[in-house]
Amino acid sequence: MNEKEHFMKEALKEAKKAYDKLEIPVGAVIVKNGRVIARGHNVKEEKKDTTKHAEIIAIQKASKKLDNWRLKDCEMYVTLEPCSMCAGAIIQSRIKKVYIGAMDEKTGACGSVLNLFKDFKFNHNVEAETGILKDECEDLLKKFFIELRKMKKNME
């Protein structure tokens, strides 16, 4: 297993925590100098807060750990392509590079619906690499939504 896969597996562990809470299973880790410094997973439902995405939580934790809002020289591994809110936060936090598992054809803002990292001129450029453990990331999401549909159908 290479380094990218290793860190995406760590993000997948976070996504599974969200899954177990009946949250959309997205996980993120932030890495600096080859070490995970922050982790996050979706808790929107639990916290009843639109902003509680995995990426935002990981950014908040990394900023606290580094005592700096600038996450220079940090990389993020995230199981699902960030939305526009999260992509904006990634740009603002100065993260150097984002490694993405699955793409999000409905709300993705790093290449699917739009690309905030490339198509617009911001004060900071973020590199992105997609397809890291893509199948594992997609399978977890598909399984979650199949089970969620079954639960909703059983409640009717």
Known catalytic residues?
Answer: 55
Q: Which of 124, 121, 118 is nearest to 89 (CA)?
A: 124
Distance, CA of 95 to CA of 31 (rounded, Å):
10
* Residue 11: alpha-carbon gap to chain centroid: 8
Runs of H (alpha helix) within the chain:
3-20, 44-47, 54-66, 84-93, 134-155
List residues bridging with 40 in a β-sheet.
28
Cα–Cα distance for residue pair 45/67, rounded to 1 Å: 28
Closest CA to 101 of 74, 128, 119: 128
